[in-house]
Amino acid sequence: MPANLPPEYFEAEKRFKETITVAEKILALEDLISTVPKHKGTDKLRGDLRRKLSKLREESLASTRKGRHADIFTIEREGASQICLAGVPNSGKSSILASLTNAKPVIADYPISTLIPIPGMMPFEDIQIQLVDLPPIGNNATDGWISGILRNADAIMLIIDLTDDPAGYCELLLSKLISWNIHPLCRGEVLPRPYKGVSKWILIVGNKLDSHNAEMGFRELRERYNGRYPVISVSAEKKMNLEELKKAIFGISHIIRIYSKAPGKDPDLLKPFTLKEGATIFDLAGKIHKDYLEKLKFARIWGSSRFEGQKVQRDYVLKDRDIVELHV
């Protein structure tokens, strides 16, 4: 065994040995290789690891060609919205995911326990929102595909450890997003269409509120960023402020729930349609059935209208929890 291997190597080696799927092994091995110092004493080890990585990639490619494709770099959307959790190692992303959803991520003391994207469904009132836990930002082995998943999400939660330079790490994460051409949208900002890149709503979540000096860290975080982005503090371990967090997550989703109603019948209040804020009657009609786009004459609204059952046209802008009766 070559000399001068750092402790991080042995931690990464342990994680690699605990992996099961080929996808997990590839990511864990890439992480392991990144911990090996580059000097003559490690040449053979690095060569062996790279050959093993090449073999695993060939195995993964062969599985894809045989029809057993499982692309870890694409998370199939479920629910009303997809929100990704981003943070540095040990910020508590996995603990938050486990507290809010049915997912069972690995929660450990070592720095990188999340090796692949882990989705979970968060119930919020009468809808489900998909949360996706990602490996920590700052790892060259995974940052490339992490940025791709973040670009496709509806919004991003930045998970910050309130006990460890919260403002500094928050600035680091925001700078990283910008370097990936992901523009963090500020409060009240109109969704722009930049020449290069994408725009995403941001929620800053200060975790470990139950820890010593966490309140001080949260004040620092809030004073610096609350004017630009929503900032909330929680403790995933102690289940503190989780209901407030759910409401904040719904807020950055920027979606509305619309209930349909057939003429002369009661509305269906169990399964709302979800649309983006600013959606119109015409948008709802197209989501219900494409034929309605041509046949729609008018609609009646209960909720945001001036009076119950108000007759409105197809360009009427809907609000959350409106009840709509379409007439064709």
Nearest to 141 by CA among 57, 257, 211, 232: 57
DSSP 113: -
CA distance to 274, 283, 300, per residue, from 320 (Å)? 9, 14, 15
69 against 322, higher pLDDT: 322
Lookup result for tokens 């929620």: 203
The pLDDT of residue 206: 96
21 against 32, higher pLDDT: 32
The pLDDT of residue 257: 96
Q: Please state the pTM of the whole predicted model.
A: 0.75
Q: Say if CB 287 and CB 259 are below 8 A apart.
A: no
The pLDDT of residue 62: 63
In whole angstroms, what is the distance from residue 95 CA to residue 209 CA? 13
The pLDDT of residue 160: 96
First-last CA distance in the chain = 76
Q: Say if CB 213 and CB 163 are below 8 A apart.
A: yes
Q: What percent of the chain has pLDDT over 90?
A: 49
Please report whether residue 75 resides in a domain: no
Q: Say if CB 155 and CB 81 are below 8 A apart.
A: yes
Burial class (CB in 10 A: 0-12, 13-18, 19+), 302: middle
Same domain flag for 21 and 136? no
Q: Specify the CATH number for the domain of residue 175.
A: 3.40.50.300
CA distance to 35, 55, 59, 114, per residue, from 13 (Å)? 10, 17, 20, 14
Mean pLDDT for the stretch of residues 45-68:
70
Burial class (CB in 10 A: 0-12, 13-18, 19+), 51: exposed
Quick one: pLDDT band at residue 129, thresholds 50, 70, 90?
very high
Please report whether residue 124 resides in a domain: yes
Q: What is the pLDDT of residues 108-120, one digit of tens each?
A: 554 555 567 888 9
The pLDDT of residue 76: 82
Same domain flag for 321 and 240? no
Please report whether residue 71 resides in a domain: no
Last residue of a domain, one of 253, 283, 300: 253
Helix, strand or coil, per DSSP, at residue 321: coil
Nearest to 1 by CA among 54, 49, 55, 34: 49
Last residue of a domain, one of 20, 39, 65: 65
The pLDDT of residue 169: 94
The shares of helix, strand and coil residues in the chain, as percent rounded to the nearest 5, are 35, 20, 40
Same domain flag for 103 and 21? no
Please report whether residue 110 resides in a domain: yes
Give the DSSP per-residue string, 275-289: EETT-BHHHHHHHH-
Same domain flag for 86 and 158? yes
Q: What is the pLDDT of residues 236-253, one digit of tens each?
A: 999 999 999 999 999 999
Same domain flag for 154 and 188? yes
The pLDDT of residue 64: 47
In whole angstroms, what is the distance from residue 194 CA to residue 176 CA? 17
Q: Say if CB 37 and CB 4 are below 8 A apart.
A: yes
Q: What is the pLDDT of residues 157-186, one digit of tens each?
A: 999 999 999 999 999 999 999 999 999 998
Please report whether residue 122 resides in a domain: yes
Q: What is the pLDDT of residues 275-317, one digit of tens each?
A: 999 999 999 999 888 888 888 899 999 998 888 999 999 999 9
Q: What are phi and psi of 260, to 5 degrees?
A: -90, 155
Q: What is the mean pLDDT of the chain?
A: 85
Domain of 260? 256-327
Same domain flag for 231 and 306? no
The pLDDT of residue 191: 58
